[in-house]
A and B are shown apart, each in its own frame.
Chain A
Amino acid sequence: MTTTTVVSGQPSAPAPRPPQPDAPVPGPTRARAVLALARFEARELLTYLPVLAAFLVYVAATAWRLYSGHPGWHELTGREGMADYPALQDADRATQSGATLLGLALFVCANRTALRAHGRGTEPYFDTLVMEPWRRTLAHALAIVPFALLTALVVAVRFTWAALSPGAVGHGSVFELAVTPLTVLLFGVAGVLLARLIPSAFAGPLLAVALYVAATYVLDLADGAHWSQWLSPVVEETGADPMPSDLVGRPAAWHALYLAGLTAFLLCAALLLGKGRDARAGLRVKVLTGVALLATAAGIAGQSPGPSAALEAARVRVSDHPEQSENCTERGATTYCALPEWTGRTAAWARTTERVRSLAGGTATTRPLTVRQRVEARYGLEGDANHAPLTAPGAVTVGTRWGGNRVPEYAVGLASVLVAGDEKAGAAVCDGRVVTTMWLALGAGPDPLATLRDVRIDDSDQGGAYVLSPTQGLRMSAQQTDVVRALLDRPAQSVTSAVKAHWTELTGPGVSTARVATILGVPDAANGAKGEDTCEE
């Protein structure tokens, strides 16, 4: 445009001459042009249905998780109480779910935008423009950045939400939080590189399926070897109870370095495939390629070794002898021993403990108890192991999870210790004392009938079923279930006074369910009694 405009009768400054073909375009102008193209391509990406849908679903799913506390939306009802008591060393990597699907959407669509000119036959016209092909490629890659930033924002909101909840314990890792945005960036850049490697429309969708297979099946199934598992961008490792953050032992920093290095390497490879670099830019890109390769190699080398011997030893030590690393505080007649990161949770344990003890009679209200926090770290982050019941008198196990169903489960364990003396004996109880135990665990809680269903393994309130506790649990027969249900229907005050008055008989070994029902004033509920109480169905 070389028109000269005239404003209020005066000629303006002479118009700039058109740029000479050989004249170097100033650096800042080029950078601005690349950014402008990147901005345009980012907007273009957003108009692709897979990207738009993936991000809408991602944001909606995150909002649902924040609201309901459920880890996914496979469970659509109710609210998961455990979300109020997150362990941040687990909450950080919980933000990684869904990263692969987001990444794949960007992979397919970034591939498509980078090939748009090719498919429309406009590629040759770009040769007449000032911007070189490699800068165009760079702009396509930069267009992914806003999506990575959006993902980072969602991840940050999700983690901050967990960290701000009053029951939060432990420490998160910023490297675990970086995985989702880095994965999005990696997949997007991989899509651009693929467009430069194979300029054909069908390669993107086909390879997206292959990538998904590689990310979910092959790397996981290759005998589950640690090094191959960690080549996958997202390694979630869920299943075990939260363990102290120094026992988690995930190579998160190395993995983030690996992802960042690989992203940079793929970007450099895409730039090297684009033509039109001058010598200086070419050298820079080559140096950057070398650095990125080194970073990737270092990341792989750092993340490949499995848990070290020292870590394994520390895991065994904490699993076998938690008392060596715990801090104990006394509240009334109860001593609470918590792992260092969990000391803030003793108040919540104490509330439940006092509630259960307030229903007991005899010496059980004043007897010294030790609430011992235990964690099973020997089997790694995916090992879901049960605790063996403790044999020390008055010792009660509490796990590292809390909230939701973990609270009544703890109450059942505590009540069985109050009734039978220790956990081992409490788990073997089959006679009428099961009724006493369940009354102590449920009687003073909110909505005891719903809680009864929650602690039973089949969510029922009829018939026989296992009742969960932090250790071995106990078995309720159909008749005991009937009696407990009848007790929960009666006014709590009258049952409590009957329990306190007949405490010795109600907790005596061998007392029958029918006898317990009679003492507690619900003799009709035990009408179906068939002789001896046994733990066999």
Chain B
Amino acid sequence: MRGVTRRLRYPAALLPPVWHALPWRPLAAAGALGWLPVAAARPLSGGTGDTALGLSLLRLAALVAGVGLAFLLDDPARRTTEAVPVRRPVRAGLRLALVAPPLAAWWTAALLLLPAGSRPPSGAVSLEAAGIAGTALALAAASVRLRAEPCPGTGAARGLLALTAAVLLLPDRWSPLVSLQDANWTAAHGWWAAILVVAALVWAVCVPEPLTGHRLLAGRAVRSPCGTSGPSRRS
């Protein structure tokens, strides 16, 4: 029991600084911007229920939120936080845990902002949103791991946008962005679940700090300009 308490003490102590270090500006900007299209649904559809429009607007809101989430791992002080005893998975997990409740509230509000008549099935569209958010986070984690980038946000956001454009250009029968009446609705949501799982796996693989071992995923060692980063990571 004492061991568990001790193990939980460091993360608990980390909560305030991680909360401070969270990139609130992009997250807040994304949140505000993401609500705009959803709030515009009422005037656009003229009060009549238009689930196709509602679906498009919710997807856009999810994309905007994804762009915001891509900045979640931005840490300008990464070169100094490398040296703290709490490992990166804990720190990144704390960031995610701190952001998740507001994010869930934000998404629920976005769903409720839509007129009831134009609200698509909440579960399915939430799965799509989770897939988009997961992809953004996985891109950010991969960028941290592979490029030793202190602020992976812009690169991850660009990657997310490029992926979105690629999906928009896909032929209709391969696109996961199906319409409500499409016969492939269920199959496409199977793919969304798969996207979410793959994103979670990428996150799990990329979040730990490279110590030694696998060359491909070891990444470039982060070098401190001041030479205070402790013993060399490459033996």
Contact = CB atoms under 8 A, between A and B. Distances in A.
A36 interface: no
B25 A202 contact: yes
Given A74-B172, A205-B67, A200 B25 contact: yes
**Which of A54, A57, A73, A217 gathers most chain B CB within 10 Å?**
A217
A266 to B, nearest CB: 20
Given A49-B158, A202-B71, A208-B161, A213 B44 contact: no
A204 interface: yes
A388 interface: no
Contact of A206 (B44, B68, B159): B68
**Which of B36, B162, B166 gathers most chain A CB within 10 Å?**
B162
A92 B106 CA distance: 45
A101 B169 contact: yes
A202 B157 contact: yes
Contacts of B71: 201-202
A205 B70 contact: yes
**Which of B33, B67, B151, B158 gathers most chain A CB within 10 Å?**
B158
Interface in A51-75: 53-54, 57, 61, 73-75
Interface string A72-109: 01111000000000000000000000000100110011
A206 B136 CA distance: 13
B158 A206 contact: no
B165 A101 contact: yes
Contact of B162 (A50, A61, A202, A204): A50
B95 to A, nearest CB: 16
B37 interface: yes
A512 B144 CA distance: 77
A218 interface: yes
Interface residues on A, range: 20 to 34
A221 interface: yes
Contact of B165 (A54, A76, A205, A218): A54
A209 B161 contact: yes
Given A53-B166, A104-B161, A209-B67, A204 B30 contact: no
A466 interface: no
A203 B67 CA distance: 10
Given A200-B25, A201-B151, A218-B40, A210 B33 contact: yes
B60 interface: yes
Interface string B118-155: 00000000000000000000000000000000010110
A204 B44 CA distance: 26
Contacts of B166: 53, 57
Prevailing SS type, chain A contact patch? helix
A419 to B, nearest CB: 39
B29 interface: yes
B171 A206 contact: no
B26 interface: yes
A201 to B, nearest CB: 4
A48 interface: yes
B64 A209 contact: yes
Interface residues of B, number: 33
Interface in A299-357: none
Nearest to B63: A209
Given A73-B171, A213-B37, A108 B158 contact: yes
B56 interface: yes
B67 A202 contact: yes
Contacts of A485: none
Interface in A95-130: 101, 104-105, 108-109, 112, 119
B168 interface: yes
Interface in A179-201: 200-201
Contacts of A119: 151, 154
A202 B158 contact: no
Nearest to A210: B33
Given A74-B171, A205-B70, A205-B157, A105 B64 contact: no
A104 B165 contact: yes
A108 B158 CA distance: 7
Contact of A112 (B25, B37, B40, B158): B158
B40 A206 contact: no
Interface in B144-199: 151, 153-154, 157-162, 165-166, 168-169, 171-172
A55 B25 CA distance: 32
Contact of A217 (B29, B56, B172): B56
Please name the 8 residue pairs, one residue from A and one from B, whose CB atoms are nearest each other, closest first. Answer: A202-B26, A205-B157, A201-B154, A50-B162, A205-B67, A221-B44, A74-B171, A209-B64
